[in-house]
Amino acid sequence: MLTLIVFLPLAAALALVALPRLGDPQARWAWVAVAAVDLALVVVVWARYATPPAGGLAFEERAAWMPGVNSSYHIGVDGFSLPLVAMTAVIFLACAVHALRERHRPRIQAALFLFLQSVSLGLFVAADLILFFVFFDLSIVGMYFVIAGWGHGNRGHSAMKFFLYTFLGSLALLVGFIGLYVAAEPHTFDIPELVAAAPLAGRPPRWRAGAGRDPGRPGGEDPHRPVPHLAAARAHRRAAVGSAVLAGVLLKMGTYGFVRIALPMLPQAWRAWAWVVIVVGVVSVIYGALVALAQTNVKRMIAYTSVNHMGYIALAVGAAGLVAADTTQARTVAVTGAVTQMVSHGLITAALFLLAGVLQDRAGTYDMGAYGGLATPAPVFATLFAVGAFASLGLPAFSGFIAEFQIFTGSVAVAPVTAIALVGILVTAALFLRALQEVFTGETRGHSLGFTDLRSSEVWSVGPLLLLSLVIGILPRPLLDVIEPASVAVVDLVGR
């Protein structure tokens, strides 16, 4: 089943490339249909999912691949990967629906996004480090062509910077994976086997910490690395609808690596560097919010809020490394909140980027000062943007509140000083309220004059993302029931 979920979009992408005579409308609807079928398959997997034993995987599939280095095609899901697989399928379907009116090479765009969907799903189900690396590198290639082909302005330069910085991070990732392979006995790239072996246990602290850095920071998608994030911020500004995928899905590859690789495989190194990760998280929360507050470009503002939101995840997983006898439950809550935040941020930020793309589509600019009173000619657009803004700042009844409440509950219980990161929520509220006031309220002026409201395809792409955030915020139990057992298992591994 998982193999079908991963490779169905890739097969459809190859079919679109191999059928150049296929008309543009057919290509667009084929993209929607394949994304919908893939999501339906994910729903079936979720309905049939049963929590595997600690350290195990559900729906496991394995086949020989490179036996000389003990690397195999090994995939499966657990409480960390299944929510991200579902989130990925939802976001790609939303992008497909949003692009139904795309006029710029829609057949190639559909094939490229279907390719990206396959490699993204493949990474989240990978249970082998080489397989993980292959899918990660392919995601960089796919996003490069998305930015270069469908971005705005100096898109070639933005795409090149994104690719080079992110590829540099992937090389460090590969070095870390090879280090784990060499240290393991017997040598292997299999993730469950490496988790069970803890290959760097007992090594000198300097080597443990150094080796823990690369596997714990999978590639340039991680926004806590400052230089790659500058390229990512520029890519967000240029990449049009691709920003929804870049922020909603690809950014999660780095933080997913924390809970899939760094915490369970390198527990001693993670404990040694826990305070460094916490400090990085706190700085990311406050820095991201302040830089976003300074923006006058709607899309750049949303891009920098991703630094803020992903900082909460770093804060939570850092707190998981502060091992003490009476903090097990608090650290479990923090890790559960971190994974919930990955899902929440993906849904909400993807919706906001799709809405920001409407501004560019209608008026050719993201500048907030170019609008005013937009709520009058575009009330549906204004309503959905306001809902997305309040969801992003963590208002109760939305998924962001559930995630951030768990993160701060767990983190503050372990390290009370982390409460300083609450300032980030206040700044986030200020920046979104300022944007809502400047763009949507007051007298209709500038590019707001003659602005047409959302089309049905735009409503049906953004609306379900925000609705899912609302459902998770009101009824979080189905999601938390999947995540919590995996959080308990990884916290136990960090404490060993």
Question: What tokens appear for 448 in the block?
Answer: 């707001």
Q: What is the mean pLDDT of the chain?
A: 88
- Angle at Cα 135 formed by Cα 75 and Cα 125, nearest 5°? 25
Reported confidence tier of residue 240, pLDDT bands at 50, 70, 90: low
In tens, the pLDDT along 97-115 reads 998 887 778 888 999 999 9
- Listed in sequence order, the DSSP H helices in 62-154 are 81-98, 106-125, 129-150
In tens, the pLDDT along 362-383 reads 998 999 999 999 999 999 999 9
Question: What tokens appear for 173 in the block?
Answer: 């990732």
In tens, the pLDDT along 374-417 reads 999 999 999 999 999 999 999 999 999 999 999 999 999 999 99
Q: Is the model's pLDDT at 298 over the cut of 70? A: yes
- For position 153, what pLDDT does the model report? 63
In tens, the pLDDT along 250-260 reads 999 999 999 99
Q: Lowest-pLDDT range, 173-187, 234-248, 319-333, 438-452?
A: 234-248
Q: Lowest-pLDDT range, 47-56, 104-113, 194-203, 373-382?
A: 194-203
Residue 209 near residue 272 (C-beta atoms within 8 A): yes
- For position 22, what pLDDT does the model report? 76
Question: What tokens appear for 175 in the block?
Answer: 């070095």
Reported confidence tier of residue 437, pLDDT bands at 50, 70, 90: very high
- For position 375, what pLDDT does the model report? 95
Residue 5 near residue 42 (C-beta atoms within 8 A): yes
Residue 109 near residue 102 (C-beta atoms within 8 A): yes
- For position 183, what pLDDT does the model report? 87
Bridge partners (DSSP) listed for residue 46 = none
* Arithmetic mean of pLDDT, 207-235: 41
- Angle at Cα 400 formed by Cα 405 and Cα 135, nearest 5°? 115
- Listed in sequence order, the DSSP H helices in 151-183 are 155-183
For residue 399, give the DSSP letter: H
Q: Lowest-pLDDT range, 9-18, 123-132, 156-165, 371-380?
A: 156-165
Reported confidence tier of residue 152, pLDDT bands at 50, 70, 90: low
How far is the CA of 236 from the CAs of 130, 162, 300, in angstroms?
28, 10, 7
In tens, the pLDDT along 478-491 reads 999 999 999 999 99
* Arithmetic mean of pLDDT, 448-459: 93
* Arithmetic mean of pLDDT, 77-92: 96
